[in-house]
Structure 1
Amino acid sequence: MTTTATGPQPLLGDRRSLAQQLTLKVFLLVPFAALIAAVPLVWGWGLTWLDVILTAVLYVVATLGVTVGYHRYFTHGAFKANRALRVALGIAGSFAVQGSIIFWVASHRRHHAYADRDGDPHSPWLFGTSPTALLRGFWHAHMGWMFSRDVTNYQRFAPDLLRDKDIRVVSRYFGVWTAGSLVLPAVLGGLISWSWWGALTAFFWAGLVRIAALHHVTWSVNSICHMVGSRPFASRDKAANFWPLAILSMGESWHNSHHADPTCARHGVLRGQIDIAARTIWVFERFGWAKDVRWPTPERLARRRVAG
């Protein structure tokens, strides 16, 4: 607990109501069930090239909304964005259905403040190092932590976003963006194919399955990337680089590099490390939508390299 001019500020804020808990479970478990159902469906019927294209496009948009927007911009201030880009990133990130901007940012800033220690909302190491403890920790880090009724204190970890009128509005209408994330693919699928069946399959694949896949890629950064991988840079925690997730996560799985230098706009800082999110920020910078980008320099990298 820290103390400020207004008194002590605990890690946790208000608890979720039972209605909020039920809603959360629906939006976490229904897409997951759709992902499981997708396995027999893909072998039999109900998947078209239109579904594949819509799924891929919306996956990229929502994933970049989280990686570029929620994470590198809103959480860590890796660059400055003009108003239009800031709002667009907030809405795109909301399409990932991982919580509102303020919820996500507060939780992630708390994660960095207490990474792999007591206070971290989703460390896989909180229960010990035995096989049973690590299995429990993996579940907790991957998705179990989100079923808790406790919510990170916004005033302590995201006061800047609470003061931002635009972001408060985007955050307040998170439910609208969530509905849009499901309705938009169905509308596009129906109009392009001019059929109800096209609307239904697009809703399933580009809506439910896409959201579930994105959920598990993001959650894998919390779980797998704190357990397995390489650690070429010094950090205070067990964050690791896990290359198999690099493309699907748009560069987020270069997690050791990120924890060693959290405000850096590029996570894949070594040769051959693909970082689609960083390239997207580079494009925004070229168009003049982003500025003061915190790109890595040889000096910064050298200071953080593990000796040996």
Structure 2
Amino acid sequence: MAFIDVVLQRPSYGWMDENGNLVKPAGKQLFAEFCSRINIFKSRKNWIALAGWFWVLCLLPFLFLFLFTYFNWKLLFICIFYSMVVMGTHGTIWYHRYGTHRAFIFRNAFWRFITQNLVVKLIPEEIYIVSHHVHHSKSDQPGDPYNASAGFLYCFLADTNHQPIAKDLDEKNYARAAVLVKHTGIKINSYEQYQKWGSIADPGRTAALWIANWVCWYGIFYLIGGHALACALFSGALIWVIGVRTFNYNGHGKGTESHRDGLDFNRKDLSVNQYRPGLLAGEWHNNHHMYPGSARSGFLPYQIDFAWYYIYVLYKIGAVSSYHDSKKQFYENYYVPYKNASKKESVKDFVD
């Protein structure tokens, strides 16, 4: 089988039935799979599937402190801004455009490290990056790890149920999987270590970097605004990491054809451009699926793209050595032909 078909751990209910149709598991099946995947007593190879949700649980005390001890409306606004704009934009920059698609290149490891740790860390790179390659290869088809056609829970629990890499890859396919994340700077397990831990990343180093990131950011927030600000911003991180698990379900029209003329030009899958994630985090999803390797996804004048602005500023100061921008191709291949066809249609309607 092709690498893309075997690189992710197959769920117990499978990707497709004997007729090649998408399996749409019931909620009970999805939760059973979730519980099995995070059970490190069953297998230590489940550690990385557990890690993301363990980090979520670690954020709950900050939320309780914020809501019941430090709450005020100004801090709530800051919390939401950090969640929607700062965390959201960072996810687009680091995991999406750099981690998966390598849409730009850092000048050196220093700027890569700074960008990687710009916010509170909540997602292991391999969980996002490897599965996102599969998502683009099989978008809205059986095998897409967060196929919106299978329902909300299928997408919401995908980071645990569908996104971890397979635990039984041969040495050649493991090396191919490791290459997909090597450029992010994480320490890559040898094949023997992978056979022990079931992951590309080393659990000890992952935990150490996670703790260092959280301690550093809590300290910075505390120095700026005390425990109140720190708890508010860590709560914002919690809101983001829960919300991002819902994104692909909404970003692919909840599994239905929801394209709009003049806005969603890519019709090869169900992806749509949404205003909230687009304006707040630069995630113009239909544009991205059209040109996944582009460092800019906000092509039209009103399509604000904070992720692109960050990348471009780093380029201007020399921290990014090169980038790919598909705006020109978008206009030539899609927008200009659409506008010309619309004008011809308007003239025809007028004459008729």
TM-score range, shorter chain: 0.7 to 0.9
Say which SS state the counterpart of residue 166 (structure 1) adopts. coil
2: CA distance between counterparts of 1:92 and 1:232? Answer: 31
Contact preservation (8 Å) 1:12, 1:150: yes
Say which SS state the counterpart of residue 292 (structure 1) adopts. strand
**Structure label with greater radius of gyration:** 2
Say which SS state the counterpart of residue 168 (structure 1) adopts. coil
Say which SS state the counterpart of residue 114 (structure 2) adopts. helix
What whole-Å deviation, never above 9, does each CA across 1:210-234 have from its counterpart, x for those lacking one?
Answer: 2222224433431211115645312
Structure 1 residue runs without a partner (length 5+): 128-136
- The 1:225/1:103 distance shift into structure 2, 3 A limit, reads same
2:31 maps to which residue? none
Instruction: Give how far 1:107 is off.
Output: 1.4
2: CA distance between counterparts of 1:51 and 1:239? Answer: 31
2: CA distance between counterparts of 1:89 and 1:190? Answer: 21
Instruction: Give how far 1:12 is off.
Output: 2.0
- The 1:145/1:166 distance shift into structure 2, 3 A limit, reads closer
2:174 maps to which residue? 155
Say which SS state the counterpart of residue 246 (structure 1) adopts. helix
Contact preservation (8 Å) 2:126, 2:181: yes
Contact preservation (8 Å) 1:51, 1:202: no
Contact preservation (8 Å) 2:104, 2:320: yes
2: CA distance between counterparts of 1:181 and 1:51? Answer: 23
**Aligned with residue 281 of structure 1, among 298, 311, 314:** 311
**Aligned with residue 205 of structure 1, among 232, 236, 240:** 232
Alignment size in residue pairs: 280
2:324 maps to which residue? 294
Contact preservation (8 Å) 1:79, 1:265: yes
**Aligned with residue 290 of structure 2, among 260, 285, 301:** 260
Contact preservation (8 Å) 1:82, 1:289: yes
- The 1:164/1:264 distance shift into structure 2, 3 A limit, reads closer
1:12 maps to which residue? 8
Of all paired residues, the percent bearing the same amino acid is 22
1: CA distance between counterparts of 2:98 and 2:53? Answer: 28
**Aligned with residue 282 of structure 2, among 251, 270, 274:** 251
1:86 maps to which residue? 112
Instruction: Give how far 1:161 is off.
Output: 4.2
2: CA distance between counterparts of 1:150 and 1:299? Answer: 32
Structure 1 length normalisation: TM-score?
Answer: 0.74
Aligned partner letter, 1:268: G
Within 5 A, what are the aligned runs for 1:84-123? 84-92=110-118, 95-99=120-124, 101-123=125-147
Contact preservation (8 Å) 2:145, 2:162: no
- The 1:124/1:161 distance shift into structure 2, 3 A limit, reads closer
Instruction: Give how far 1:264 is off.
Output: 1.1
Contact preservation (8 Å) 1:10, 1:156: no
Aligned partner letter, 1:147: T
2:2 maps to which residue? 2
Say which SS state the counterpart of residue 80 (structure 1) adopts. strand
Instruction: Give how far 1:45 is off.
Output: 4.7
Kindly report the root-mean-square deviation, in angstroms, between the aligned alpha carbons of the 2 structures: 3.7
Say which SS state the counterpart of residue 133 (structure 2) adopts. helix
2:195 maps to which residue? none
Contact preservation (8 Å) 1:221, 1:255: no
Instruction: Give how far 1:90 is off.
Output: 2.8
Structure 2 length normalisation: TM-score?
Answer: 0.66
Say which SS state the counterpart of residue 295 (structure 1) adopts. coil
- The 1:32/1:220 distance shift into structure 2, 3 A limit, reads farther
Q: Mean Cα displacement is larger for which, 263-272 or 149-158?
A: 149-158
Contact preservation (8 Å) 1:73, 1:79: yes
1:28 maps to which residue? 56
